[in-house]
Amino acid sequence: MNRIELRATAETLLMVAAVTGIGLASHGRIPTSAMDLLYLVPVAVAARLHGLGQGIIAGIASALAYNFFFVPPLRTLRIDDNENIVTVIALLAVAVFTSRLTAQLRSQARDAQAAAMRNAALASFARQLAGSSDEVALAHAICAEAARIFDADALVVLRGHDVPLAAAPPFDRLAGLDLQAAQHCIESGGRSGRGTATLQAADWSFVALPTPSGVVGALGLARGDGRAPVDGDDPLLASIATQAALALERAALARELHDVAALRERDRLRGALLSSVGHDLRTPLTAILAASAELRATAADPALVATLDSEARRLDRYIANLLDMVRIEAGAIRLNLEPVDLVDAVAAALRDVRGGEDVKVDVAADLPLVRLDAQLFHHILINLIDNARRHGAGAPVTIAAAKHGDGLTLAVCDAGPGLPPGSEARVFDTFTRLEGSDRIGGTGLGLAIVKGFAEAMGLRVSAANRTEARGAAFTLELPAPLLLAAAP
C-alpha cells in the first residue's frame, strides 16, 4: 500500500471515528436505530472521494463500530439479539451497496469530465488546423497543438522521409531506434517507440496518421525526463492522430489540385501560343515558298534557290509540328482510316523531305496493306526521317519494314551516337532535347508528335540503341488487327 492509499484509509477511518464520537457524545439522545443511517455518511463520502475500495473499508469499519459501541452487549463484538445481528448485516450490505453506487457515479463523472476535456482539446485542435492549407504550415500547427496538449516535444514525419516535416521545438533528423520506430509505426499503422510494446528503448513515441487511402506518416511525442508521453492507448491521442492525418491528406489534395490547375493553364497558354505562332508564320512562309518556285523558274543560281527552298521547307515542317502538337494536346485528332501501302507511304515521305539519296529503304512490296490515317502516318515518317538525319552524323538512314509475329514493324535507324542510357522513353516527351541537341537543331516536338499520332491510330512506337551497328532505332509496331490484304 503506497502513501496515497494509506492517507485515504486514514481519512476514511477518521470519518468513521467522527461519527462514532458524535454518537457517544449524544449520551443516548440519538436512537440506536438512527446510528446505522448515520454511519452511511462516511461510507458515501469515502467512496466519493477515494473510490470503491475505501467505501468498502468505511462500510466494514462502520459495521464494526456500530456493533462495538451501540449494540448490546456494549464494548464487545458479540451480539446476543438476533434483531441486532440483522441490523449489523443490513448496515454492512447497505454500506457496500452505497459505496459501490457512489464509486460508479464518481467514475462516470470522471469519465464525463475527461470526455469534455478531450472534446475541448479536439475542438481547439480542429480550429488550429482549419486555418492552414499548406502542408508545412499545417504540420507546424499539428506539432504546436500536440506539444501543448500532451506537454511534450512533438514532430510530424511523412512516409519515406527521415527528416521531420515539422517539429516543436525544431528537430533535425531521426536516426537509430527513433527512425526504426517511426518506420515501423508507419508500416504497421499502429504505435511504436517509448511507452509501447515495440522498440521501447527509443526516445520518441510514435502514433500512425491513418487516412482511408493509407498511413501518410507518424506523429511523434517525447518528454525531456524520459517518461512515456502518454499512458497506454490514449483515445485523445488516437483522435488527434486521425484529425491530423485527414488534414494533411486534405492539404496534399489541395496542392495537387492547384498543381493540376496550374498545369492546365500552362498547357492552355502554350497551346494558344503555339497555335498563334504557327498560323502567323505560315502566311509569310507561303510567300517565301512561292518566291522560291518563281526563282527556280527564272533560272536563278540553282544552289542558292535549292538552299532557300530546303530551309523554307524545313521551317514549314517545324510550323506543321507546332500545329500538330496543338491538335494532339487539345485531343482534336480525327482519324480518316484507309488502306495504306508501306512502300508508297515511305516513298511519299522521302519526296517531301527531299534528298532521299542518303536513305536506304528495305520495304518488301508484298507486305500487307495497313489500315491507317495516311496523313498522320505521313507526318510520322517525315519526323522519324528528319530526326534520324539530324542525329545520324551524316551517315545513311535506313528504313526497314518486316513481318513480326502476326503484325508488322517499321524501323527508322540512324548511325549516330545513339541514345543515352535511360532516355529511351523520355525522348518522346514534348520539348525534350537530349545532350548535344543544341548543336544539331530541332524543336523537341517531332518525336512527341510521332508518339501522339501513333497512339491515336493504335500503333506502338519505341526507341532503342541498335545492337548490330552504331546508332539508334525508332520502331513502329503495327498490330495484326490493322493489317489488310497484301498489296497487289
Give yes or no for residue 406 having a pLDDT over 80: yes
**Whether residues 115 and 200 fall in one domain:** no
**Whether residues 240 and 275 fall in one domain:** no
User: What is the reported pTM?
Assistant: 0.45
CATH number of the domain residue 407 falls in: 3.30.565.10
Domain count, the chain: 4
Instruction: Return all residues near 165 (Cβ < 8 A) that are at least 6 apart.
Output: 135, 136, 139, 156, 157, 158, 217
Domain interval for residue 100: 3-122
- C-alpha distances (whole Å) from 71 to each of 36, 67, 82, 269 are 10, 5, 11, 101
Over residues 21-34, the mean pLDDT reads 77
Residue 374, in any domain of the structure: yes
**Whether residues 347 and 289 fall in one domain:** no
3-state secondary structure of 475: strand
Which of 203, 226, 252 delimits the end of a domain? 252
Residue 127, in any domain of the structure: no
Which of 224, 252, 280 delimits the end of a domain? 252
Which of 225, 252, 279 delimits the end of a domain? 252
Burial of 19 (0-12, 13-18, 19+ CB in 10 A): buried
Distance CA 101, CA 51 (A): 10
**Whether residues 56 and 98 fall in one domain:** yes
pLDDT in tens, 222-265: 988 878 877 766 777 788 888 888 888 888 888 888 888 877 77
pLDDT for 265: 74
Q: Encode 228-267: b = buried (16+ Cβ within 10 Å), e = exposed.
A: bbbeeebebbeebbbbbbbbbbebeeeeeeeeeeeeeeee
CATH number of the domain residue 236 falls in: 3.30.450.40
CATH number of the domain residue 274 falls in: 1.10.287.130
Over residues 457-483, the mean pLDDT reads 92
pLDDT for 438: 41
pLDDT in tens, 56-94: 888 788 878 877 887 777 787 776 666 666 666 766 676
Distance CA 43, CA 35 (A): 13
pLDDT for 440: 46
